[in-house]
Structure 1
Amino acid sequence: MTWPRSVLVLTVVAAALWAGAPDSAGAGDYHSATEALERVQETRIDEAELVLKGMPLGTPARAWAEASILFHRGRYSAARDALPEAAPGEPDGLRRLRIRIEHAHKATLGMMERAVGNFLYRFEGGPDAILVDYAVEALEGQRAAMEEILGATPSQPVVVEFFPTVERFVLATGLPMEWVETTNTVAVCKWDRLMVLSPLNMPRGYPWKDTLAHEYVHLILSQASRNRAPIWFHEGSAKVLETRWRDPKGGEFLDPWGESLLARALDEGALVDFEAMHPSMAALPSSEIASLAFAQVAYAVDYILDSVGPRGYRQIVEETALYGDVLRALDLVLGRSLGSFEDRYQAHMRSQGLRIRTQVAGFDLKLEAGAAGVSDSEGVALDPVLLDHRRMQDHTRIGDLLRLRGHRRAALIEYERAELAGPYHSPALANKKARTLRALGRADAARQILEETVDLYPEFAPTIALLCELSAATEEHQRTADLAQRALAINPFDPKIHLHLIGALTGLGDTDGVKHEQRVLQILADHLGRH
């Protein structure tokens, strides 16, 4: 999400007018400040700083421009110090900037800082301290991938802020709480930095490493396009490219739920207009519509890459930077002989053989402090499918009681009755069934159920964790390590996954990796009381 192009420029113009410029003495300062803020709005912060250096000290316009630049650099205390004292009649634009700086300072107060590679990480002391080491792989990998695609890299370390609570995330981002809760928005690239809600706040976590990479795409695209690319192009690019850190060729970008939403929308003529996505996907009226919009724009960008490749994609971004019109750039690079871009990308979607996966449900999860750190060692937790279908839930609870009392075959019967009682595949129910089958000595059948479930619900971390546990039991060290890393990329706060990873790394002879995981386990034990 980015500010509308006019806001910062109007801010500095208001500052100059409020200071009595442009008169004959202050006109140069006024125009320099305006130029500096235009560079800031175009995410050309280095150039803005060069303009600032040529401005005389002690003038109001310079003070506001300097404060804005420092804010975009993530230096909130310095930005506060650069601001002149508030005075009666201060224009709304300046007041908003002052508030934004103050909120950023307050939201990050007391956070620890750690510089690693090309990024500066901020986080609350406690369980979130473990996030940095895992984030490095995703962000450094994504930095290299985006440099290859767009030829752009930030000149200074990028600030990455992990917020421990939803309230502090909202305060820092300026997003309305209603938007965050309605669409489960957990990360924003805004003001030249990445702001991320700790995965500790989502039941079973969320794909936070891909999310970091997703937001980094926004950052680089903003820089490469001078912040002139529209929301739909931004979000489509970020969705398609978010896995490049771990898959240079780019793999599947749509899960079965997103595929189902898009297939149904195509059948019913219910696609989301590009204009409705402005100013942010977070502003859409529901998480389901947001998921549909993401799927839709991802295929729009996929069509571009499929048609003209990375080189053509870069040319579109460069043309957008020059002229501020992505549709003009698309016509130039793709041509118009085959019709409008809208017609062509929708034809591309229809050619993909998208299916409505009737057995897959959407999970409208609620943000909840500490939710990812809650233990479910007995495997009795329910998922939204079971919570929404009483008959499935009743059979499942009976099955849990029987399983925990050692009546495994009877439990299996109840779980199978639960499956037949509802319209959707429940990943939690599949996990319970797999646990029972494993206890009955049918590990291969358990593994098959779990693998099918991961295909349907790739973000359901407990299923991946259970697959990891099965691999650990048979000492498949590399597969165990791979599954553990996949699970940690969703929920890094589950100690069992770290234990399995320690066993796998020990078998693989990675002593440094073992020591790191042992340190992580100690942090989780100290702050979450889990071993």
Structure 2
Amino acid sequence: MRKNFHKKTFITFSLILFVFFPVQFCATAQDAKFLDIVGEITYGEECLKTWQIEEASSVANKLLLLAPNDPYVCFLTGEVRFYEGNYQESLLFLKKALNEPAIAQKGEELYNLVDKIYQTTGKFKEVRTEHFLFRYVEEKDVILVDYAIKALEKAYNSIGNDLNYLLQAPILVEVYPDAESFCTISTLTKEEIETSGTVAICLFNRVIITSPRLQPRGYQWLDTLAHEFVHYVIMKKTYNRVPIWLHEGIAKYEEKRWIEDNTPNLPVSLESLLAEAVENDYFITFKQMHPSLAKLKRREDTALAFTEVFTVIDYMFRHGGYPLIISILDGIRDGKSTEEAVSSAMGVSFVEFEKNWLNELKQKKLRRIHGIRILPTKLKESSAIVDDLESVAEIEVKDARKYAILGDLLRREGLHSTAIVEYEKAFNKAGNISPQIQNKLAMAYILDTQYAKAEEILKVALEYYPEYTTTYISLGELYQRKGDYDIAIQVLSEANHINPFNPVIHKNLAMLYDKLGKKDEASIEMKRLRMLVK
């Protein structure tokens, strides 16, 4: 059954406007069939805009039977095949379409985009699960597969049930192996990516992420997979009618739902950023968030926008749980404006809703940690693992860096107690907000068997920067030395969820599993280690 689709789009890549169909339309049929074909093509384009790809595919397949050589039919089919992830067929149909001059003027842009993407995706290997088609470059990113498919299947069930929408067709997920290819498929510039911290996107009927290999400590890529999957569900459920602030709010709120018994909450860095915004009365408006948070000019603004919309969804959830959020999405799907849907669900006008949320936000007792920062995103073609015990490159306070260097020299000489003195000076100069110094000092305490002090510092470091892989490795070392092998395995497994490309993690896990007599698990980690060091 066809829907009366809304015209507003979240992401649109329709390059042909059918108002300029030439008189010499190629269908060799009667006028009635000509009108049918034009109408079907227009409908197929609308299906693509509204993320009803299966319907668009059905339209394209029917048109191919009617007019297989018509350039406009070929162009629509080329678009559909691209959205389906069938790059070779897409290029074949688009190339046939470009023979028509009226299409060539605009269609070449899409052809070139698909062709450039195919230079990467043509090397992909794919793994099919019950609900996903996971693609990656085998020689670089095969280690991601087991982690990804387990997390995605968990996300499918928890998020699908939360939002009352379980998808049927396989969901395409692609891991892009370098910055250039991600820039191409995302249509973002490298500057926009690094300014906003964007490492993934839901676009063209697929979930797209960058490999965590491109960052020296990885990133929380499994949360990111779930986050983008939420976008995918919302797109499909609502015919792509949901505004960016609501999209991102729900995705941020749900991104850890692949983890069992997880309660959504803000990390300290974002809570502190929000406290600063309240203090300065500086907020990113819903209007400013449009069309994408990736387009904001400062990384802190992007992080603040994510934080704000998370609190919006939290506010909604506390007033009505998932049934309220579902009712808003269903209302938008059925043709209500976002303002009408929110007002109907919340029982107040949208203006009053926004005012009430902001007033409550300003009354919260938020923690402000002066100096805590949003860690930068730098995508590199080959990102070496950072040894935080040896590096001082990211210590921004000059005096703190000086003491850290001296501490490193003493530690290498085995003078752990003396090194601690210098690290403590660095720690005090930096104000307990440098994860590198926190880890250097903690490891010195560990080597000096001052385990309680090390654990205290590392727990603060983990709370401040939960994405910082080194802290998990340091904690793993601490618990291993204390004989708490199960806890050590738990924290190192969390590190694997951030950067599975760090061989130290797999080496230490293999050793710990072996100590516990878990030979199968130890064998798996040794296999992963060999993938990385071959």
**Secondary structure of 2:72 counterpart:** helix
Counterpart of 2:157? 144
Shift of 1:30: 0.8
Q: State the alpha-carbon separation in 2 of the partners of residues 5 and 245 from structure 1.
A: 25
Counterpart of 2:283? 271
Is 2:140 the partner of 1:132? no
Counterpart of 1:61? 72
TM-score, normalising length: structure 2: 0.91
Task: Mark the runs of 5 or more structure 1 residues left unpaired by the alignment.
Answer: 527-531
Counterpart of 1:431? 439
Per-residue CA shift, 1:251-277, capped at 9, x if unaligned?
32x222211211111222210011111
Counterpart of 2:4? none
Give the alignment of 1:88-127 within 5 angstroms: 88-90=101-103, 93-127=106-140
Q: State the alpha-carbon separation in 2 of the partners of residues 409 and 70 from structure 1.
A: 64
**Secondary structure of 1:123 counterpart:** strand
Change (3 A) 1:460 1:328: same
**Secondary structure of 2:188 counterpart:** coil
Counterpart of 2:314? 302
Is 2:401 the partner of 1:393? yes
Q: State the alpha-carbon separation in 2 of the partners of residues 196 and 156 from structure 1.
A: 20
Q: Give yes or no for contact 1:15–1:94 (8 Å, CA) kept in 2.
A: no
Q: State the alpha-carbon separation in 2 of the partners of residues 470 and 117 from structure 1.
A: 39
Shift of 1:238: 0.7
Counterpart of 2:298? 286
Q: Give yes or no for contact 1:21–1:30 (8 Å, CA) kept in 2.
A: no
Q: Give yes or no for contact 2:343–2:350 (8 Å, CA) kept in 1.
A: no
Shift of 1:247: 3.7
Q: Give yes or no for contact 2:201–2:209 (8 Å, CA) kept in 1.
A: yes
Q: State the alpha-carbon separation in 1 of the partners of residues 74 and 150 from structure 2.
A: 38
Q: Give the count of matched residue pairs.
A: 520
Q: State the alpha-carbon separation in 2 of the partners of residues 17 and 175 from structure 1.
A: 33
For 1:296, the aligned partner's letter is E
Counterpart of 1:238? 251
Is 2:201 the partner of 1:193? no
Counterpart of 1:330? 342
Shift of 1:249: 4.8
Greater Cα shift, 331-340 or 302-311: 331-340
Q: Give yes or no for contact 1:237–1:301 (8 Å, CA) kept in 2.
A: yes
Change (3 A) 1:397 1:13: same
Is 2:37 the partner of 1:37? no
Per-residue CA shift, 1:488-512, capped at 9, x if unaligned?
1111111111122223434555544
**Secondary structure of 1:11 counterpart:** coil
For 1:111, the aligned partner's letter is F
Q: State the alpha-carbon separation in 1 of the partners of residues 79 and 483 from structure 2.
A: 55
Is 2:237 the partner of 1:224? yes
Greater Cα shift, 117-126 or 142-151: 117-126
**Secondary structure of 1:54 counterpart:** helix
Q: State the alpha-carbon separation in 2 of the partners of residues 473 and 233 from structure 1.
A: 46
Shift of 1:11: 2.3
Of the three residues 357, 362, 374, the one matched with 2:385 is: 374
Greater Cα shift, 168-177 or 111-120: 111-120
Greater Cα shift, 423-432 or 91-100: 91-100
Counterpart of 1:257? 269
Give the alignment of 1:163-202 within 5 angstroms: 163-202=176-215
**Secondary structure of 1:26 counterpart:** helix
Shift of 1:48: 2.0
Change (3 A) 1:369 1:5: closer
Change (3 A) 1:416 1:65: same
Change (3 A) 1:381 1:324: farther
Q: State the alpha-carbon separation in 1 of the partners of residues 328 and 437 from structure 2.
A: 47
Q: State the alpha-carbon separation in 2 of the partners of residues 21 and 57 from structure 1.
A: 8
Shift of 1:31: 0.6
Change (3 A) 1:14 1:344: same
Greater Cα shift, 237-246 or 504-513: 504-513
Shift of 1:24: 4.7
Shift of 1:76: 0.8
**Secondary structure of 2:103 counterpart:** coil
TM-score, normalising length: structure 1: 0.92
Counterpart of 1:79? 90
**Secondary structure of 1:356 counterpart:** coil
Shift of 1:355: 2.2
Of the three residues 456, 459, 464, the one matched with 1:451 is: 459
Shift of 1:205: 1.1
Identity of aligned residues (%): 29
Change (3 A) 1:512 1:6: closer
Q: State the alpha-carbon separation in 2 of the partners of residues 92 and 344 from structure 1.
A: 50
For 1:68, the aligned partner's letter is E
Q: Give yes or no for contact 1:184–1:367 (8 Å, CA) kept in 2.
A: no
For 2:278, the aligned partner's letter is L
For 2:299, the aligned partner's letter is S
Q: Give yes or no for contact 1:319–1:329 (8 Å, CA) kept in 2.
A: yes
Change (3 A) 1:150 1:396: same
Q: State the alpha-carbon separation in 1 of the partners of residues 436 and 42 from structure 2.
A: 56
**Secondary structure of 2:334 counterpart:** helix
**Secondary structure of 1:161 counterpart:** strand
Q: State the alpha-carbon separation in 2 of the partners of residues 294 and 383 from structure 1.
A: 28
For 1:11, the aligned partner's letter is I
Per-residue CA shift, 1:394-442, capped at 9, x if unaligned?
0110011011111222211111111222345211111111111111121
For 1:446, the aligned partner's letter is A
Task: Mark the runs of 5 or more structure 2 residues left unpaired by the alignment.
Answer: 1-7
Shift of 1:467: 0.4
Shift of 1:233: 0.7
Greater Cα shift, 72-81 or 105-114: 105-114
Is 2:15 the partner of 1:13? no
Counterpart of 2:326? 314
Q: Give yes or no for contact 1:202–1:369 (8 Å, CA) kept in 2.
A: no
For 1:303, the aligned partner's letter is Y
Q: Give yes or no for contact 2:60–2:80 (8 Å, CA) kept in 1.
A: no
